[in-house]
Amino acid sequence: MDIFSEEYARQLDAKDPLKGFRDHFVLEDNNLVYLDGNSLGVLPRNTATYMEQVVKEEWGRGLIRSWNTGWYERPQKIAAQIALLIGAHADEVIVTDSTSVNLFKLAYTALKLQQGRKGIVSDSLNFPSDIYLLQGLAEIFGNQHDIRLAQSHDGITVSHEEIENQLGNDTALLTLSHVVFKSAFMYNMKDITSLSHQKGAMVLWDLSHSVGAVPIDLNDAHVDLAVGCTYKYLNGGPGSPAFLYVRKDLQEKLKSPIWGWFGQNNPFDFNLQYQPAPGIERFMAGTPPMLSLSMLEPSLNIFLDAGMDRLRNKSVQQANYFIQLFQHHLAPLGFSMGSPIKEDQRGSHISLRHPEGYRICQALIEPQKDSPVVIPDFRQPDNIRLGITPLYTRYHDLFRAVIKMKTIVDQHWYTAFSIKREKVT
Amino acid sequence: MDIFSEEYARQLDAKDPLKGFRDHFVLEDNNLVYLDGNSLGVLPRNTATYMEQVVKEEWGRGLIRSWNTGWYERPQKIAAQIALLIGAHADEVIVTDSTSVNLFKLAYTALKLQQGRKGIVSDSLNFPSDIYLLQGLAEIFGNQHDIRLAQSHDGITVSHEEIENQLGNDTALLTLSHVVFKSAFMYNMKDITSLSHQKGAMVLWDLSHSVGAVPIDLNDAHVDLAVGCTYKYLNGGPGSPAFLYVRKDLQEKLKSPIWGWFGQNNPFDFNLQYQPAPGIERFMAGTPPMLSLSMLEPSLNIFLDAGMDRLRNKSVQQANYFIQLFQHHLAPLGFSMGSPIKEDQRGSHISLRHPEGYRICQALIEPQKDSPVVIPDFRQPDNIRLGITPLYTRYHDLFRAVIKMKTIVDQHWYTAFSIKREKVT
């Protein structure tokens, strides 16, 4: 059979052992091809039901009593589910605050522990606000630190040699995104962590674009610190709270700079002297946003049921299928790969580059002439970023996205759209 | 008519011009007397409906597109409603993070602006984690600051003289709770702010126990900075995000220490050098928890409809009624006032003290012998804290609470309960 045919895509879906998981999500509009689950995951069916229970029963009827019948333990309970996805122990993970605030807290305490060392290493492909937070921390510490960014030579990858060149015997902290937000380049976490430890530097991984996308084993890689986002692949809903990881043996040595209510040992003693909680809870701050936080549980149950290895397997197969279609249909039209070809260097999203990338994105989102609505996202200057979320992405979705991109360029549909840029997450 | 009779309580309710507002809340259980709205406000009816819309329509159907059709502006939109309750301009308030994180950010930047001045003043009645955060900040700044706590001589109030004695020409920052969490003592915000400014100290008010409880006019008092909580009187739901206020003319001089994604100017340029947003948005950090945040809007609409002056008027009347009942029924049984008697020194909750306070609280919560379930909260060592939330508290609720307290002590019901303390928010 012609591997470029629509029928072939449908056959791949029919044979997909994970196809049933799509039914767990609210995806009723068959005219919608959603390839932005790496920015905001789709609503799980059980979440809608569970939200009603949390709002009407737990808050509405239980009122303040619900703190003692589940709410207090929920950040730990949900963290224990996330721990299973990232190769950590339950008592090494907590759900709290945003990724920004968590990165701030952990990078601060790492720099404090490593005082005397003045180097901070990251890379030029990192998510910009991860760099902003480091710049802010450098200012807090009196501008004694030198922030060195390993450079990418192709705009897609960063070599391990480049990281090694930036690391020195004065490096306090190396912090990188495990999977890079734009190109989906994925580091070998274990190798990089080991490289960093050899120089005496601590390592903080940002898992925002890798948790729920690829298997992660923080303990196996002996990672010190990590943070991550839950509203992308983990489908926690818009702005659902983030998580952080601190390896068990480091917890007593580290302390959040934000000496908050939920990080205190025995907060209900109302003692006036701060005493950090003994475990991972010391990295919490204020009261967690319980409605947003609760919504993570139904989605995490689906992940644990599907299993990260099976999901990764499907993600790689779908990406390779997509790349075949790209090479056949899109490469001749001026599209190029903005992501690594090698699957072991790639997360679960793919960026395609095109000089008209921004207008092509707008045309994809617009329904026209029987074409589906295709939702990717756009990343400067010319990246069309497509997220493969194997719990609910179909091969047929990828097929339709490629055919629409081809048509948009072939038939100059994109010229109907403005080059003025709006916000797109 | 006998002012201590049940009939009198019912008449007060019948004549209450705000009685209709109770219908906006989910309070179906007539056997429940909820006097903990100052810890966790009750669920507004419209919130349950709105949550369904936000989850199913905005997230479920709108998906990532909802960021461009309302989510980005929502923290500002809700802040503009809160601004009306606290006497601020819309562009001086933003909804973000938790009270702890907001206090951290604002106290940090105030201490930074005031470097050279080494005094930090607060009081011994402040919420403990407000003090913890100051202790943590002192450590960040190299332990050069001296944290001075104005003392309370009666455990209930703090005199203005006591504050004045702690303020010096080297004071960088004065930070106080406008209404104290345990005793409900309320400062004269304008006088204290003026006192502080005379010494060159900046002022940061924690409005957690006063927003939605008493009228506040930050601009009139020329307040520099404020933070506040939204899940107490404002009924935002468990852990709903907090707000912060920075007076307009100070915004450009101050900068959050957490250089996050949402505080950046033009975050979607993906520039690698942090540039704070020009206005109040610079004090945001990561992506806001949109579900928890959205739930504030229905409740704030009710507040704006009722008006803070009318709510305060009812709150004072209810408190005075309650104090009459206390004097008649409870004072003879060993209860004492843990709150100021003078209404202009008191917020909207009342603490009663009793040596058996903890067990009395447990007995109140327990349904027994036709008595209602009465939910207050307990605060160490012996405070039974009762929140008056005039949007939904009835005079008859206060009557029933007093009668149950009387019965619990009269008939020794409390002796059936454990003295072992559990968490109660």
Q: Quote the minimal CA–CA distance from A284 to chain B in Å.
A: 10
The answer to whether the beta carbons of residues B26 and B40 sit under 8 Å apart is no
User: Which residues in chain A touch residue B268, judged by CB atoms under 8 angstroms apart?
Assistant: 380, 421, 423-424
Considering only the beta carbons, identify the residue of B66, B135, B423 that sits closest to A268: B423
The answer to whether the beta carbons of residues A235 and A211 sit under 8 Å apart is no
Taken as a whole, chain B contains a residue count of 425
**Confidence bin at B369 (pLDDT 50/70/90):** confident
Q: Quote the minimal CA–CA distance from B127 to chain A in Å.
A: 8
B421 is catalytic: no
Instruction: Note whether A260 contacts B292, CB cutoff 8 Å.
Output: no
Structure-block tokens of residue A135: 């710049």
With a cut of 80, say whether residue A328 has pLDDT above it.
Answer: yes
Which residue from A minimizes the CA distance to B49? A52
B385 is catalytic: yes
Specify the pLDDT at position B424. 47
Specify the pLDDT at position B168. 97
Q: Residue A273's closest CA among B133, B208, B22, B385?
A: B133
Integer angstrom CA distances of residue B289 from B45, B49, B52, B72, B240: 21, 18, 16, 12, 8
With a cut of 70, say whether residue B350 has pLDDT above it.
Answer: yes
Tell me the average pLDDT across B346-358. 98
The answer to whether the beta carbons of residues B9 and B25 sit under 8 Å apart is no
Instruction: Note whether A260 contacts B129, CB cutoff 8 Å.
Output: yes
Which residue from A minimizes the CA distance to B126? A272
With a cut of 90, say whether residue A8 has pLDDT above it.
Answer: yes
Specify the pLDDT at position B164. 97
Q: Is A136 on the interface with B (CB under 8 A)?
A: yes
The DSSP line for B221-248 is TT--EEEE-SSSTT---TT---EEEE-G
Q: Which amino acid is at A25?
A: F
Considering only the beta carbons, identify the residue of A149, A272, A365 that sits closest to B128: A272
- The angle at the Cα of B419, spanning B416 to B422, to the nearest 5 degrees, equals 115
| Distance from C-alpha of A95 to C-alpha of A99, rounded to nearest angstrom | 10
User: Which residues in chain A touch residue B72, judged by CB atoms under 8 angstroms apart?
Assistant: 423
- Catalytic, out of B185, B231, B283, B378: B231
Please report where in the chains the tokens 């052992």 appear, as a residue.
A17
> Could you report the per-residue pLDDT of A286-327, keeping only the tens digit for each?
999 999 999 999 999 999 999 999 999 999 999 999 999 999
Task: Choose the mutation target among B43, B57, B129, B244 for the interface with A, i.e. most A CBs under 10 Å.
Answer: B129
| Distance from C-alpha of B141 to C-alpha of A289, rounded to nearest angstrom | 29
Tell me the average pLDDT across B279-289. 97
The whole-chain average pLDDT of chain A stands at 96
Q: How many helices and strands (H and E) does chain A possess?
A: 12, 13
Q: Quote the minimal CA–CA distance from A360 to chain B in Å.
A: 16
Task: Report the percentage of chain A scoring pLDDT > 70.
Answer: 99
> Which residues, numbered 208 to 247 in chain B, qualify as contacts with chain A under a Cβ-Cβ cut-off of 8 Å?
231, 237-242
> Which residues, numbered 363 to 402 in chain B, qualify as contacts with chain A under a Cβ-Cβ cut-off of 8 Å?
365, 375, 377, 379-380
Give me the torsion for CA of A407, A413, A417, A421, rounded to 10°. Answer: 20
> Which residues, numbered 276 to 295 in chain A, qualify as contacts with chain B under a Cβ-Cβ cut-off of 8 Å?
285-293, 295
With a cut of 50, say whether residue B219 has pLDDT above it.
Answer: yes
Tally Cβ neighbours within 10 Å of residue B248: 13
- Catalytic, out of B206, B224, B382, B397: B206
With a cut of 60, say whether residue B36 has pLDDT above it.
Answer: yes
- Catalytic, out of A185, A231, A243, A326: A231
With a cut of 70, say whether residue A64 has pLDDT above it.
Answer: yes
With a cut of 80, say whether residue A130 has pLDDT above it.
Answer: yes
Tell me the average pLDDT across B199-213. 98
> Could you report the per-residue pLDDT of B37-72, keeping only the tens digit for each?
999 999 999 999 999 999 999 999 999 999 999 999
Please report where in the chains the tokens 């309320």 appear, as a residue.
B186
Q: Give the pairing of strands B349-353 and B336-337.
A: antiparallel
Q: Give the pairing of strands A119-123 and A171-177.
A: parallel
Integer angstrom CA distances of residue B78 from A82, A407, B84, B296, B334: 32, 42, 10, 7, 45
Q: Is B136 on the interface with A (CB under 8 A)?
A: yes
Q: Residue A265's closest CA among A239, A247, A283?
A: A283
Query: Residue B342 gets which letter from DSSP?
Result: S
The DSSP line for A351-398 is EEE-TTHHHHHHHHHS--TTPPEEE-EEETTTEEEEE--TTT--HHHH
State whether residue A399 is helix, strand or coil: helix
Q: Quote the minimal CA–CA distance from B109 to chain A in Å.
A: 10
Contacts of B197 (CB under 8 A, 6+ apart): B203, B222
User: Which residues in chain A touch residue B36, judged by CB atoms under 8 angstroms apart?
Assistant: 63-64
> Could you report the per-residue pLDDT of B88-111, keeping only the tens digit for each?
999 999 999 999 999 999 999 999
**Confidence bin at A424 (pLDDT 50/70/90):** very low
Please provide the distance, in angstroms rounded to a whole number, between the alpha carbons at the two ends of chain A: 38
B310 is catalytic: no
Tell me the average pLDDT across A17-46. 97
Q: Is B96 on the interface with A (CB under 8 A)?
A: no
With a cut of 90, say whether residue B370 has pLDDT above it.
Answer: no
Please report where in the chains the tokens 């989850």 appear, as a residue.
B55
| Distance from C-alpha of A216 to C-alpha of B321, rounded to nearest angstrom | 61
Please provide the distance, in angstroms rounded to a whole number, between the alpha carbons at the two ends of chain B: 38
Which residue from B minimizes the CA distance to A239? B289
> Could you report the per-residue pLDDT of A180-190, keeping only the tens digit for each?
999 999 999 99
> Could you report the per-residue pLDDT of B140-197, keeping only the tens digit for each?
999 999 999 999 999 999 999 999 999 999 999 999 999 999 999 999 999 999 999 9
B206 is catalytic: yes
State whether residue A336 is helix, strand or coil: strand
Considering only the beta carbons, identify the residue of A63, A289, A365 that sits closest to B289: A289
Structure-block tokens of residue A372: 């589906």
Specify the pLDDT at position B196. 98
Q: Residue A185: beta bridge partners?
A: A346
> Could you report the per-residue pLDDT of A35-56, keeping only the tens digit for each?
999 999 999 999 999 999 999 9
The answer to whether the beta carbons of residues A172 and A117 sit under 8 Å apart is yes
Please report where in the chains the tokens 């179906």 appear, as a residue.
B28
With a cut of 50, say whether residue A425 has pLDDT above it.
Answer: no
Q: Quote the minimal CA–CA distance from B2 to chain A in Å.
A: 34
Q: Quote the minimal CA–CA distance from A249 to chain B in Å.
A: 23
| Distance from C-alpha of A404 to C-alpha of A384, rounded to nearest angstrom | 13
Specify the pLDDT at position B425. 45
**HSE, side-chain direction, 13 A CA sphere, residue A373:** 16
With a cut of 70, say whether residue A422 has pLDDT above it.
Answer: no
Integer angstrom CA distances of residue B127 from A2, B101, B122, B124, B157: 69, 14, 10, 8, 14
With a cut of 70, say whether residue B222 has pLDDT above it.
Answer: yes
Q: Which amino acid is at B64?
A: I
The DSSP line for A115-177 is TT--EEEEETTS-HHHHHHHHHHHHHTTS--EEEEEPPSSSS---HHHHHHH--TTEEEEEEE
Q: Quote the minimal CA–CA distance from B256 to chain A in Å.
A: 9
B231 is catalytic: yes
Task: Choose the mutation target among B209, B259, B349, B392 for the interface with A, i.e. most A CBs under 10 Å.
Answer: B259
Which residue from A minimizes the CA distance to B381? A269
Considering only the beta carbons, identify the residue of A242, A272, A288 that sits closest to B239: A288
Considering only the beta carbons, identify the residue of A55, A289, A423 that sits closest to B67: A423
Which residue from B minimizes the CA distance to A381? B269
SS3 string of A175-212?
EEECECCCCCEECCHHHHHHHHHHCCCEEEEECCCCCC
Residue A323: enclosing H or E segment and its boundaries?
helix A308-325
Specify the pLDDT at position B421. 66
Which residue from A minimizes the CA distance to B28? A61
Structure-block tokens of residue B79: 């802040």
> Could you report the per-residue pLDDT of A191-243, keeping only the tens digit for each?
999 999 999 999 999 999 999 999 999 999 999 999 999 999 999 999 999 99
| Distance from C-alpha of A336 to C-alpha of B168, rounded to nearest angstrom | 65
The answer to whether the beta carbons of residues A153 and A93 sit under 8 Å apart is no
With a cut of 90, say whether residue A283 has pLDDT above it.
Answer: yes
Which residue from A minimizes the CA distance to B232? A64
| Distance from C-alpha of A57 to C-alpha of B29, rounded to nearest angstrom | 13
Output A69 or B420, whichever has higher pLDDT.
A69
| Distance from C-alpha of A280 to C-alpha of B283, rounded to nearest angstrom | 26
| Distance from C-alpha of B86 to C-alpha of A348, rounded to nearest angstrom | 47
| Distance from C-alpha of B137 to C-alpha of B123, rounded to nearest angstrom | 17
Q: Quote the minimal CA–CA distance from A63 to chain B in Å.
A: 7
Tally Cβ neighbours within 10 Å of residue A77: 17
| Distance from C-alpha of B81 to C-alpha of B66, rounded to nearest angstrom | 21
User: Which residues in chain A touch residue B113, judged by CB atoms under 8 angstroms apart?
Assistant: none
Task: Report the percentage of chain A scoring pLDDT > 90.
Answer: 95
Structure-block tokens of residue A161: 């040699």
